Structure 1
Amino acid sequence: MKIAIISVSDKGQKLAVTLKNKLDADSTVIKTDLYHKNVKKYFSILFYEYDAIIAIMASGILIRSIAPLIESKVSDPAVLNIDDNGNFVISTLSGHLGGANELTKKVSKLINATPVITTSTDVNKRLGIDVLARDLYLSIDNTDEILFFNKSILEGRQISFIVNFEKNLDYLYKYLKNNTHEIDVSINYSSKINTDEIHVLLQNHKIILKERKIVVGLGCKRGKECNDLYYGLKKSLNDLKMDISRINMFASAEIKKDEKGMLELSDKLNVPINFVDLDKLKLFESNDIQKSEFVKSKFGIYGVCEPSALITAGFDSKLIYKKTSYDGVTIAVAISKY
């Protein structure tokens, strides 16, 4: 998640710096940028450049600033509102699909504030269909139906999931088991359903949830064993609250194509691995990747795990887990746009 923090007062600016330092230590936060004053000017840029905006200011200033920019729960960024004293963190916009509710909980813990969340499914301890989609990194084909399904879930009605029995959907089953008191679901199977889809039905209403491609980028020192890579992978997935069965592919640079530990990991987990050509890595540009001069001096590329993951995930993909090191192993995770 790329986050912008904008403040208007001196006290708010100090809080913004404190919060940035804490967020930068989180591997799921790709970058955090600070902005101060010039609210009207900055918001028109931030709204389209960041996944989340944390506004440290009076709610009136925030609401008037974002009102002309709001378009859709599908595309609007998460927006949080914090008072100058850091007493309250309010989930203001895109609570579910944008991730504002989860970010509100995270930020409130970091600054010891009270989280304020008002979405109906959350306050009634029910699992919204859009929350499920976000947590499992699924796209929703018909967002107009979200309201109907969430209302039905609030009323305690049972909804039906139809999946292909040939697909390993352990991540879905585990997730539903952990949230069994928040949603009533029956699961049915059909060979006619695409393996990367989950069809959600109730009466004549339907939503199709589709897996966005999850690619784990791998890097390591020469000779690292499978268990070393597995340890780093597990730690990273725990941070993302992601089950191993949700991974679609591994990726690394072609210079690693004979790395025994990587090949064993791919076989062990039955996850294919793509080794990206060096020429593609040399040409790849992104402001979000961490550049290593050491790797550049040895191989002519600025990095392995992050660019490999982004290239493999496809055009307009983005990082959801920045390069993180685990004793000679580096892990990054990218997700496709759709």
Structure 2
Amino acid sequence: MRLAIWSVTRGAGNLAKKIGVKLEADIYTLKKFQLENTIQIENFTDELTKKFNNYDGHIFIMATGIVIRKISCLIKSKDIDPAVLVIDEGGNFVISLLSGHIGGANELTYKVANTFSLLPIITTSSDVTGKIAIDTLSQKLNCEMESLTKAKDLTSLIVDNKKVEILLPNNVKIGENTNSSGVVIASNKKNIDIMRIYPKNLIVGVGCRRGTPKEEIFKALDEVMKKHNLAYESIKRVATVDIKADELGLLSLVEELQKELVIISREEIKEVEQRFKGSEFVKKQIGVSCVSEPCALLASNGNGDFLEQKYIYNGITISIYEEKFGYE
């Protein structure tokens, strides 16, 4: 989790240094205080505006009123906003202010409180009442939610002490493969609030010729996804070989899908390529005999199986590795 700590007074800056070292955070202080081992800035508002989306979380050592006014024009949605914490300059309290669940602010608040002996202030209803929110559940299971609105509605039912069930097939437990093609719900309720969450456990390996357009790569990927009835929301990352790190079509596709791109070196591939059927022609061209399969495997946690070993489409190879649900 990439963190930034912000301060606008000398005292807050000194406290930021103490906290920042242990959290391995970037520490921003005003240049006029000349605090060593910090990023010294001229203008707090301008710097925060430029850097707000560059971090997973922000810790402000100042009044909550200042923070609210400064971030009000920067925040967008709870599913993408970074975590925001506030600590008083006296070092008494740490407040989870924004993105408590999905952004991880609540968890970070407890971590900071325990590490520096501060009093944690958490105001989200589910946490205060000792219940789990749907967005927290989705995060813990490493899934993507179908709908923020449905998550809010279901969490409201949980907070209101209504019974909400997590339905899994009888032969499935957390930690095993929970993918199913259908679910039957037996209930005498006329209206049931339901939603689905997508496990992020698909690793896509891609190989292609130089200059392959984005549209062609997408066609190949789409055919494989449809073949196995897979959801794009469950793609955890896309992987390719280092020689394709600047492949514009692939870069454009990954950006459009908003997925992480992992670059695998040919040296890494050489360690595992013997496990796959390769091509001598490809080996002569780039130094390794195969790309999509070893890339998918090496970009995964190694705990799973291939759903698609190697799908070939117009010079493009797609491999899909499925990590077992519930394993990091």
Deviation sequence 1:286-322 (CA, Å, 0-9, x none): xxxxxxxxxxxxxxxxxxxxxx54899xxxxxxxxxx
Identity, % of aligned positions: 33
User: Equivalent residue of 1:63, what SS?
Assistant: helix
Instruction: Quote how far apart the aligned CAs of 1:70 are.
Output: 1.9
SS at match of 1:4: strand
Q: CA RMSD in A?
A: 3.9
Q: Which amino acid aligns with 1:99?
A: G
Unaligned 5+ segments in structure 2 are 31-42, 184-188, 204-235, 238-261, 276-282, 289-297, 303-328
Letter in 1 for 2:271: K
Task: Give CA-to-partner distance per residue, 1:160-204, whole Å, 9 cap, x none.
Answer: 33345676633799xxxxxxxxxxxxxxx96426xxxxxxx9934
Q: Residue 36 of structure 1 aligns with which residue?
A: 29
Aligned-partner residue type, residue 149 of structure 2: D
Once residues 55 and 171 of structure 1 are traced to their aligned partners in structure 2, the CA distance between those partners, rounded to angstroms, is 41
- CA, structure 1 residues 19+100, in 2 after alignment: closer, same or farther (shift >3 Å)? same
- 1:36-92 per-position Cα deviation (integer Å, ceiling 9, x unaligned): 242211221232111101111111111110111122111111000011121110000
What is the total number of aligned residue pairs between the two structures?
211
Contact kept, 8 Å, 1:164 with 1:192, in 2: the verdict is no
In structure 2, relative to structure 1, the CA distance for the partners of 1:48 and 1:158 (3 Å cut) is same
**3-state SS of 2:166 partner:** strand
Q: How far apart, in 1, do the equivalents of 2:133 and 2:177 lie?
A: 15
Aligned CA distance change for structure 1 residues 258 and 131 (closer, same or farther; 3 Å): same
- Is 1:49 matched with 2:57? no
Instruction: Using structure 1 for the length normalisation, give the TM-score.
Output: 0.54
Match in the other structure for 1:257: 272
**Bigger RCO (CA 8 Å, 6+ sep):** 1
| Match of residue 86, structure 2, among 68, 74, 81 | 81
- Counterparts of 2:151 and 2:2, CA distance in 1: 25
TM-score, normalised by the number of residues in structure 2 = 0.55
- Highest Rg: 1 or 2? 2
1:210 is aligned to: 198
Segments of structure 1 that go 5 or more residues without pairing to the other structure are 25-31, 174-188, 194-200, 216-247, 264-276, 282-307, 313-338
- Separation in 2, partners of 1:57, 1:206: 41
**Does residue 6 of structure 1 match 2:21?**
no
Q: Residue 15 in 1 paired to residue 30 in 2?
A: no
The 8 Å contact of residues 134 and 152 in structure 2, kept in 1 or not, is answered as no
CA contact (8 A) 1:165 1:190 kept: no
CA distance in 2, matches of 1:39, 1:202: 54
CA contact (8 A) 1:7 1:35 kept: yes
Which moved further from structure 2: 101-110 or 153-162?
153-162
State the distance in 2 between where 1:104 and 1:52 align.
11
Whole-Å Cα distance in 1 between the matches of residues 287 and 16 of structure 2?
38
Q: How many Å apart are 1:132 and its aligned residue?
A: 0.9
